[in-house]
Amino acid sequence: MHLEGPFISPLRLGAHPKLNLEPRGEAFQRVMALEHLKLVTLAPELPGAVDAIARLTARGVVVSIGHTNATFAEAAAGIAAGARMFTHLFNAMRPLNHRDPGVIAAALTSEIALPAVIPDGVHVAPEILRLIYMTRGGGRMILTTDKVSLAATAPDPSRKVDAARLADGTLAGAIISMLDGMRLMIGKTRASIGEVAMMAAANPATLMAHGERGRLQPGAVSDIIVLSEALELKAVFLAGHELN
């Protein structure tokens, strides 16, 4: 379970409802009691957040910084307490400014916390994807689709849909597949297929302490996709068995 909220900034809700809470007291205890909790996105500047990050980390839950208005110092404090990821970098975050570097600068410069980015060309412009890649390299960033289903929509060939949005135009999620995201990263950033495979599989697996996943090596889980040189999908293997 990835819990994105309710411990997020009221200033950076994105498409979330106004149900944001502080990560302490009864609300935090209820979250800590969630049996299948593996990942929490929260804003490190909220009262009680640094202690909450430390307690979640001690329980084995990965903490990601996101939906946040944090300064650089507040983000750094979150990382020092145990946060190890940034949720959909640049989106629902305090903007990057040359005199107020903020949370985005922390994500681009941290040695231990990895930024996750949505490579659909909408949530983050291709030029910014290239900036992130040039700053971080394939070994220190993560790809995430942030994919959602589009509710109450019928196919309409005349209408181009590039992302999920609320009625007011606020981005509410992506519609890209991970494979299409990989293709876009390769096409726009000139990253190698090996680097992009690290971003999409090996790096998140390592972050979540699943060392048996995301790698082509003896003993690893054999969930594999086979691509042509043109990045066309040729085969899918699940637990070593090819799917029809």
Is 223 domain-assigned?
no
Is 184 domain-assigned?
yes
Tally the domains of the chain: 1
Of residues 161 and 54, more confidence is placed in 54
At 1-46, the pLDDT tens digits run: 999 999 999 999 999 999 999 999 999 999 999 999 999 999 999 9
Q: How far apart are CA 14 and CA 158, in angstroms?
A: 28
State the catalytic residues: 146
Angle, in degrees to the nearest 10, between helices 49-58 and 25-32: 20
Among 72, 167, 87, which Cα is nearest to 124's? Answer: 87
Is 204 domain-assigned?
yes
CATH number of the domain that residue 190 is part of: 3.20.20.140
Mean pLDDT of 48-76: 98
Is the model's pLDDT at 150 over the cut of 90? Answer: no
For residue 190, the enclosing domain spans 2-217
At 172-185, the pLDDT tens digits run: 999 999 999 999 99
At 63-97, the pLDDT tens digits run: 999 999 999 999 999 999 999 999 999 999 999 99
Q: 136-140, 158-162, 176-180, 184-188: which range is least confident on average?
A: 158-162
At 99-117, the pLDDT tens digits run: 999 999 999 999 999 999 9
pLDDT of the residue at 153: 56
**14: amino acid identity, one letter:** G
pLDDT of the residue at 152: 55
Is 237 domain-assigned?
no
With a pLDDT cut of 70, the percent of the chain lying above it is 96
With a pLDDT cut of 90, the percent of the chain lying above it is 94
Say how many C-beta atoms besides its own lie within 10 A of residue 1's C-beta.
Answer: 10
Is 238 domain-assigned?
no
Mean pLDDT, the chain, integer: 95
> Is the omega angle on the peptide bond into residue 6 within 30 degrees of 0, that is, cis?
yes
Is 228 domain-assigned?
no
The continuous run of DSSP H or E covering 112 comes out as none
Is 227 domain-assigned?
no
Is 63 domain-assigned?
yes
Tell me the pLDDT band of 156, cut-offs 50, 70 and 90.
Answer: low
Q: What is the reported pTM?
A: 0.94
Whether residue 45 contacts residue 106, with contact meaning beta carbons closer than 8 Å, is answered with no
